[in-house]
Structure 1
């Protein structure tokens, strides 16, 4: 790398030298001496040339990188005016080529003016050298370091300049100094006394490192003796969810809200997921662990059949579901196998009672006069029910089986001797059940394969993709033809609605050019990409389509126009043709609203006028008689 050298002795001289980051400082001084000589025509002795960087003088024996010198950095060159050697005769022959200084009899390495102070200093040094016995090779004794705690008093005990343990300063021949901290220790005072002086480096008990606990480079940590390796769980061979039990949801359903009642748009009967966490992300059943989705004040919207209670009975089109509670979960939840207390009609149990079209009875339960007026509940079946009812259980994971309604609920004593709440569900869905011949054909037609995004499945998927890329184009095309994909094609009614939405012609054309595996992927493309408000980052509500073709929520656009003016928040185009904020406030793309309501029946329920509750349904749930 290149480094600049700057000399400011008498006049400024600049030079550029080539150095290696791992090179020695001495080599850099040689290069600097030659470069400065070439720049000004004057010889610069290496023994009197010092290089300075960052306020520090570069010492021989050190490497360039040890001073953090980088490419194009500048080194200051300092030329020593005097050479303090053992005698004046030690000035080498190359120094005689420079100009002499008559006042002191010494030589000046560079033709520069000297001040009176420089001359006096040089005379003083010359006189000292003249009166020094040059034959003596002994160096003057260095001044001993002074202890700040005891002033180096030999008779005073000090744990800083004496032995750390006893504080005495005797027996220097058998005193060890730690090569790390530098403190002194008598060999007799050590916890493990030493009789012979160590030949290698010696460290005290505070600085020594155990090589058994130090992890060297490219060496893995040995966990065979760790505390976790000694626990009983380390010897278990059962897989508890493939590491997904403690994972958190990375995606949330944005097509509908968490309190959505009824089917999820884009999810067909027969769709299955590997883990409950993926069911949560789809919006079919939001709780990742609980089997009932609901609160004590709102009707339940979904449940999962997992065979957790011995009282559960499954007949396919009908099943009896047992409420939650009654187990002691204070310890290990996996070991709680028997019921220890009575179930109460609270929390999720009460939410199932609210879903029944009958008056809530906390003691005996109730039965719906017309069960089809009960709240629709999404039902999922887990592979765990295969122990009792294999004919209705999925092969793996959790499967969505359609809409069921609560017919009645009652309280009875269970097999454990404690009371439980039981609920009778009856199927009420237009799509066929997945265990029937029609349902299996429907699954094949829609391509409803098991949704699996576990780490092992993703790794296998990546390996498979790598193999496909390595094969020839003909073989890849053949494999692609064997895979059945569902191509989402809008219905004629929806195509007519899209044709009427002339403000978003370009967006609908882009959507139509792509191919989607399912109606769910089609809705995700709309709700998570094409129709996301750029301001609130949610599915656009009360949509307003600007003249530049962007869809924005009406409240968000009004707020942006008040703050930034009449411009589009996305492309900054002028949208003055839309009028003032007052005009935009009453504007909405009704054609786009019609399309979204056709795709998502619950769209707009937060800002549209809500219809009144049906009188007979209100009467059945509250127990009050309503005059018709």
Structure 2
């Protein structure tokens, strides 16, 4: 494989190396030093070259495979500074004429950074007769080489003294001098290895090397209270945005979501919002002051709630001070009012609105159906009906009555009595658990493939699944449309290629099948929603009737997807009258609420309506 090595000098220099994944780092470093030296025209010692990849320094004892370096990777090179050289100064060094003569012993150590600038430019002179080295004259600009004057520049950095040269250490990084007795921890012997002063010494645990990771136990983040807390705050999903939206039905849809069965569960509430079951990612009531509520979530947020499974008493929203930390606003601080979401629940009850006494439905089954979800937080108060984990859809409920009363906190709250009205069995019953096992319902965690186990990023069976062989069937379960639905698809000749493609693909649940159909194959290329009043073009694409008329007016008689000529469809007036009724029949069989807002509605038979429920058709 080939990797790039970049060295930053005055300008960036890059070389390409042909190496193997099992190439030792030491050999790669030597190759890089040689190639970089050829390009820069200078000699680069390999021991002065350090290599880094993704913030880690490559260690000599490792190979490239240990750092997961692949073909085309960029490796950064850094040239380390040369260590200061220790030199012997000849005795009787004469200073300037105006300065007193100073004498230094031959054991005095100096470094390159202490040498005068003019002396650095002069090469060392070697006497050929005796081989002695004559160094340039050294002059301290602060003490003028006076032995009796204490100086922190040419003497000990602590006391400034210039005595006891045998027990004086020079830092191998900055070249400063220190008496062994003046160190914070005095030394009795001269160190055998490299020695660094307190300013240059680094903690080995804080250096990223190839063999070990960075130690963050002493970092600022490790000392924060969040590093030791045990409470989970939603796994980082509390403030996450939606990655997609439900296009199978609109935001104002009332009733069950096509493809979503009772017992379906999601790991996080944001995923339930994306499925369209309960769209508000935080609020517990989906509705407004002008429209009836569509869905609610039971999470044990109010102490007045009382859950009995088939029936439960629900407390409205409001009456809490949310100006500070919303997580700590657990008690009522004011009376609740019949406004906003509370009013939307009252509108869902088949009774007149009464802001003082409330109301009770004469026939509670005439109330608007509301989708109800329960979360794992409900287990603190009602563990019998709460899921062990995540958010679970428990079916449709209707409001029997609503009234105003004084709550546990002493302030007035609005109470609502919900009663279950769904043909599918409740998920906590034996019939519901058997239905979950029969349908192969799994907990949704992410967009990865289905799997079994508790690994992150997988979909696994819900915890209340009583079927021991369900985990084996999850890997092989495939959703197959009913015979009636296949017959309807066969009549749609214009989209024969579409239905063949859908038949070739594998979908494990009805929800997954509808998602692929509504968000992919039958998504309008202009409005990006499920096609409404669909028109089948000669090229095979489907588009909304209104979007196609706008495209013909602005872009001419061409397909907005493939630019194919579609003049055979006629003028804009002719296109307005066209609609693929066969496709509408299929979509209405899959989505009973599809096309409710149109003026032209094709008749839907009992067979078509029975496709989703799976019940036998009455003859």
* Offset from partner CA, 1:313-351 (integer Å, 9 cap, x none): 345444321112445667776666654443333343233
1:253 touches 1:282 (CA, 8 Å); kept in 2?
Answer: yes
- Corresponding residue of 1:503: 494
The gaps in structure 1 that reach 5 residues or longer are 2-17, 29-50, 68-131, 466-476, 612-628
Count residues with an aligned counterpart.
491
Q: Give the 3-state SS of the residue equivalent to 1:263 in structure 2.
A: coil
Q: Aligned partners of 1:241, 1:454: CA distance in 2, in Å? A: 18
- Corresponding residue of 2:404: 411
CA gap of 1:164–1:360, structure 2 versus 1, over 3 A, is farther
- Corresponding residue of 1:546: 537
Q: Aligned partners of 2:159, 2:577: CA distance in 1, in Å? A: 90
Counterpart mapping for 1:156-555 below 5 A: 178-182=171-175, 200-222=193-215, 249-327=242-320, 338-368=331-361, 371-382=364-375, 385=378, 392-393=385-386, 397-434=390-427, 442-443=435-436, 445-451=438-444, 460=453, 485=477, 487-490=479-482, 492=484, 494-514=485-505, 516-534=507-525, 537-553=528-544
Q: Aligned partners of 2:257, 2:46: CA distance in 1, in Å? A: 72
Matched, 1:53 2:38: yes
Using the TM superposition, give the Cα deviation of residue 66 of structure 1 relative to its aligned residue in structure 2, in angstroms.
9.1
Q: Aligned partners of 2:128, 2:169: CA distance in 1, in Å? A: 38
Q: Aligned partners of 1:385, 1:24: CA distance in 2, in Å? A: 64
* Offset from partner CA, 1:516-549 (integer Å, 9 cap, x none): 4332222112113222344554433453333221
1:179 touches 1:201 (CA, 8 Å); kept in 2?
Answer: yes
The structure with the greater share of residues assigned to helix is 1
CA gap of 1:458–1:244, structure 2 versus 1, over 3 A, is farther
Q: Aligned partners of 1:199, 1:570: CA distance in 2, in Å? A: 76
1:447 touches 1:486 (CA, 8 Å); kept in 2?
Answer: no
Q: Aligned partners of 1:181, 1:592: CA distance in 2, in Å? A: 80
Using the TM superposition, give the Cα deviation of residue 552 of structure 1 relative to its aligned residue in structure 2, in angstroms.
3.6
- Of structures 1 and 2, the larger Rg is shown by 1
Q: Aligned partners of 2:150, 2:565: CA distance in 1, in Å? A: 83
Q: Give the 3-state SS of the residue equivalent to 1:53 in structure 2.
A: helix
CA gap of 1:401–1:192, structure 2 versus 1, over 3 A, is closer
* Offset from partner CA, 1:184-213 (integer Å, 9 cap, x none): 678898777889876643434432212344
* Offset from partner CA, 1:75-126 (integer Å, 9 cap, x none): xxxxxxxxxxxxxxxxxxxxxxxxxxxxxxxxxxxxxxxxxxxxxxxxxxxx
2:440 touches 2:473 (CA, 8 Å); kept in 1?
Answer: no
1:447 touches 1:484 (CA, 8 Å); kept in 2?
Answer: no
Q: Give the 3-state SS of the residue equivalent to 2:314 in structure 1.
A: strand
The gaps in structure 2 that reach 5 residues or longer are 2-17, 20-26, 52-125, 459-468, 602-619
TM-score by length of 2: 0.61
2:266 touches 2:443 (CA, 8 Å); kept in 1?
Answer: yes
Using the TM superposition, give the Cα deviation of residue 422 of structure 1 relative to its aligned residue in structure 2, in angstroms.
0.4
CA gap of 1:309–1:133, structure 2 versus 1, over 3 A, is closer
Counterpart mapping for 1:7-18 below 5 A: none
For the aligned residue pairs, the C-alpha RMSD in angstroms reads 5.5
